[in-house]
């Protein structure tokens, strides 16, 4: 099995299988900071989580800790046709911008300090780039991304207090490597 780094198979028992951390130059590239707003938040949506993420944001958008924050609400490609629907739900809030393919995920991470989602592989990209990750607990379920339970830059949020605390916390330098550079020797 070829993998993106040693991380993905560190806790997996595959007897009689060789795992080779081959790496990948696309995901391992360092994200160059390009932030126009040091406190920007990127929300990574998906068709099964989009409405819940939007509802959660709008519940607290008028709170001081979120009201002035620049927010990029990135739709999954299978949601691009719903852009107008999401824009109509947030049209009263100038600080939220709905994104389809105007920016890449790497571009959004370069312009953000933190990420909010429920479940996404972008979580690992954000952590490797030194960003804070806020995971919205769905029905108090934290089994998604449970491999990140001990990561100090991951926050499970469910209410105003946990959201405020996560947004105001400091990023802790964490040398976890989810994506290694391509290793042609492997």
Residues 128-186 have pLDDT tens digits of 888 999 999 875 556 678 888 888 999 999 999 999 999 999 888 777 787 788 888 88
Average per-residue pLDDT in the chain?
86
* pLDDT given for residue 25 in this prediction: 76
> Which residues make Cβ contacts (< 8 Å) with residue 123, sequence separation at least 6?
44, 115, 117, 133, 135, 145, 148, 154
C-alpha 20 chain-centroid distance: 26
The answer on pLDDT for 33 being more than 70 is no
C-alpha 67 chain-centroid distance: 20
* pLDDT given for residue 177 in this prediction: 80
Distances (CA, A) of 134 to 46, 99, 109, 127, 170: 15, 19, 14, 11, 13
Beta-strand runs (E) in the chain: 2-3, 20-21, 41-44, 71-74, 96-99, 114-117, 132-136, 154-157
C-alpha 30 chain-centroid distance: 16
């Amino acid at each position: 099995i070829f993998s993106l780094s040693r991380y993905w198979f560190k806790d997996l028992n595959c007897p009689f299988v060789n795992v080779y951390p081959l790496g990948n130059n696309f995901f391992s590239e360092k994200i160059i900071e390009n932030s126009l707003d040091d406190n920007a938040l990127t929300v990574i949506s998906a068709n099964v989580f989009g409405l819940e993420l939007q509802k959660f944001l709008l519940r607290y958008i008028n709170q001081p800790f979120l009201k002035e924050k620049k927010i990029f609400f990135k739709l999954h490609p299978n949601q691009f046709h719903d852009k107008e629907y999401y824009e109509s739900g947030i049209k009263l809030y100038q600080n939220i911008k709905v994104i389809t393919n105007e920016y890449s995920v790497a571009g959004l991470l370069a312009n953000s300090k933190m990420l909010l989602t429920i479940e996404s592989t972008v979580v690992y990209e954000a952590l490797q780039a030194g960003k804070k990750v806020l995971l919205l607990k769905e029905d108090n379920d934290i089994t998604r991304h449970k491999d990140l339970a001990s990561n100090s830059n991951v926050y499970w949020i469910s209410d105003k207090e946990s959201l405020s605390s996560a947004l105001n916390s400091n990023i802790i330098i964490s040398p976890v490597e989810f994506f290694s550079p391509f290793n042609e020797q492997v």
